[in-house]
Chains A and B, each alone.
Chain A
């Protein structure tokens, strides 16, 4: 699904370098690239909505429309949060999942199944479950953040390190509990832990959309400040950025977006890495005005493409996260190998 025009076109760029026609110059502008990306997203959306309709078109549109909306919300949350996280940490090979977000979500769910059984887990009121997960995840990350970054020492690296350690702790406690589970309970749990975008609960989708919009409302006024943050803390402070406050605000925004979307569809942060890095090389600019929308667009391409492959090719014989994780894993290897070669 990654063989969309994005990769082939950027690969063709160097040949045009010798005698740059006006077309090539126009193509090089981030705006043109974003526009093309937008067109691809629209085309994929149309393909997903209108092709292969088994029965009533209106019914299919309603169900699929909800899925597309869920995708948009998730793509926004994952794309924006990963790019912002990269800028804050000055590292493009991390995802916010390194702070243990995904692992914490799985732990909470496992804890519920472990303590009250899968029947209770399935019978649990969806809204309450979502709310509990969002609140606990946001509280956890904000606590971790204010503890390690808000104090006098304030070190992002220390915070990441503690995040990694806690993430490992969450994962091993989860594993331990899952070993003790009844096989049926385990099956129900692992099924629920694969991200799924089809048939989202409408109320939860609306709530998640609101929180993600809130997160974006925090990030958008800081777009230009984010550009300055790419220069690193010392330079950014020298240029008059209130580094501590800005990073704090951004981090809270990122946590809210991630928590809400993870609670909606399950652990899905891994694909942020593909999306963000593809966005950087696709727009060819470090400016967040371009990279953020590009990350969201590429996220949509991944989700729509992945869902199309999954539904139409494999007839739902798997989970979306499998398709994306497979492609993401390959891409990650490519990133590491390319970094090594340079």
Chain B
């Protein structure tokens, strides 16, 4: 499990993550929701050791994030951030190969190659394996990055807004894939989402943040209530049941 104990992060005088204590990353998919500036990405940055907390302690499966060697953490925890810009020209295969770096340190074994092939196959990137990343559509590129993270073969996978700038079809594709990796490969996926309906239909658990504080942490169905959502987003949200699934209506 990923555990935060009284974690605080400030940018200057502004507190972005405020004394948060939470344990997440159980089996299945956990969605992290909340308005812009709630501290979701900062929380991911802290867990993914891109940022140092000003106070508190973070651990992954009992390993302290601050003191465990980065290369060890990379074997249990994979993080995909938003907006990955790469200056060099890489092919899809090159990128996915990098997912094995924590295990192989760049010298690929047969075992590594199998993981790479599996990840490429899983994301149906076979036809594009030799294409350069800048020649792919947004959805394909996002899939290539997810494939890299899968090839890393970690217990925990953290995805920060992987649906950004994707159309309806690609969003559903990515979410279905996230669900499958959790169900078939036993990954524990934590995913930042803006569309709460995606969170409701694909996640097992929803963690809601607001103003740097965790305001809800419960099974998806329990968070999908008008009062809870309205409090999180500061906007009236209606929740209706359609075909047995809760659907949030916020198109005033």
Contacts and interface: CB of A to CB of B under 8 A. Distances in A.
Contacts of A224: 101, 105-107
Interface in B33-84: 48-50, 52, 69-75, 78-81, 84
A232 B84 contact: yes
A204 B102 CA distance: 42
Interface in A231-281: 231-235, 237-242
B78 A227 contact: no
A237 B49 CA distance: 7
Interface string A52-68: 00000000000000000
B216 to A, nearest CB: 27
Contact of B70 (A230, A235, A241): A241
Interface residues of A, number: 22
B75 A240 contact: yes
B81 A235 contact: yes
Contacts of B149: 238
Contacts of A238: 48, 74, 78-81, 149
B98 interface: yes
Contacts of B50: 233-234, 237
A170 B72 CA distance: 44
Contact of A240 (B86, B90, B102): B102
B73 A234 contact: no
Given A239-B152, A240-B72, A241-B70, A231 B102 contact: no
21 contacts: A224-B105, A230-B86, A230-B90, A231-B84, A231-B86, A232-B84, A232-B85, A232-B87, A234-B48, A234-B81, A237-B70, A238-B74, A239-B152, A240-B69, A240-B73, A240-B74, A240-B101, A241-B101, A242-B70, A242-B71, A286-B89
Interface of B: 48-50, 52, 69-75, 78-81, 84-90, 94-95, 98-99, 101-102, 105-107, 149, 152
Given A227-B106, A231-B86, 20 more contacts: A91-B87, A224-B105, A227-B98, A231-B95, A232-B84, A232-B85, A233-B50, A234-B81, A238-B78, A238-B79, A239-B74, A239-B98, A240-B70, A240-B71, A240-B72, A240-B101, A241-B101, A242-B70, A286-B89, A286-B90
